[in-house]
Amino acid sequence: MKPFKSYVVRTNEENQVTHQVEEVTESFLGEGNTTIAVEYSSINYKDMLGLQTKGGVIRNYPMIPGIDLAGTIISSEDPSLSPGDPVLITGYKLGTEHTGGFSEVARVPSEWVVKLPENLSAKEAMMYGTAGFTAALSIAALEKNGMKVEDQPEILVTGATGGVGSVATQILRKLGYENITATIRKDYQEESAKEFGATKIWNITENESNGRPLNRREYKYVVDTVGGDLTADVLSKVDEYGSVAISGNAGGVKLNTTVLP
């Protein structure tokens, strides 16, 4: 195979992270039995962390970031995958411990590979990307735990203008949910949150937590993409027998809460 372009993250002698487009060969790629011609990848929070010194998500350098990808099979030892098959990958160790999607070519274990649905292009798959997949899983989990359109419950989406939150809000409105509150941190985000489908806005810079373990029950279901102190505050406001789908840690990985009620 001819050399191809990849976006490579390295560390220098001062242990500072550097990154740039490089021309590499197939030997640079991670182990796997399936080679893919990458057409698209999306940019996620993990990718941003991966480009930072002490970002915490990449431990072995050099590395090609990109935690998802869509493209076509070049070759595979798996008989269920044939050259030319359109496929996608989200998650696993892609882009953090295993060379990822920011490359013209990727090599991965076949167990990671999902065939692209017929009604979805590679570009569309990565427009949704890992963020959209996470949003869909969150909503599916809430519906499994009782959330129904006909009930029109109060729903909160935290980080509603971010990747997961923005897609979650749009999916909820597309499904027919109407009572959607979005959290924002900046006034200019309000317009975007409403365009995505939010009907109410919670500006958390103006409504800081009062620190109470229990507050007035405002939300029946929550898609939480932030984590940390905001999650603790949100849990204190969830209605009895409500549910929270937690996926994010931009607000921190620690959760300071209580066993009440």
pLDDT in tens, the chain (261 residues): 899 999 999 998 888 999 999 999 999 999 999 999 999 999 998 999 999 988 889 989 999 999 999 999 999 999 999 999 999 999 899 999 999 999 999 999 999 999 999 999 999 999 999 999 999 999 999 999 999 999 999 999 999 999 999 999 999 999 999 999 999 999 999 999 999 999 999 998 765 566 677 888 999 999 999 999 999 999 999 999 999 999 988 888 899 888 877
Helices (H) and strands (E) in the chain, counts: 5, 12
260 within some domain? no
Are residues 18 and 56 part of one domain?
Answer: yes
- CA 29, CA 32: separation in Å to the nearest integer? 9
Are residues 133 and 116 part of one domain?
Answer: no
Are residues 135 and 238 part of one domain?
Answer: yes
Give residue 207's pLDDT: 57
61: CB partners within 8 A, 6+ apart: 9, 10, 11, 17
CB-count exposure of residue 190 (10 Å: 0-12, 13-18, 19+): middle
The helix/strand/coil state of 156 is strand
Are residues 183 and 93 part of one domain?
Answer: no
41: CB partners within 8 A, 6+ apart: 66, 68, 69, 70, 100, 101, 102, 126, 129
In the DSSP assignment, the letter for residue 117 is P
Q: Which domain holds residue 21?
A: 4-120
Q: pTM surpassing 0.95?
A: no
- CA 74, CA 34: separation in Å to the nearest integer? 8
Task: Indicate the residue among 120, 149, 183 that finishes a domain.
Answer: 120
Tally of domains within the chain: 2
Are residues 234 and 136 part of one domain?
Answer: yes
Are residues 58 and 164 part of one domain?
Answer: no
39 within some domain? yes
CATH at residue 16:
3.90.180.10
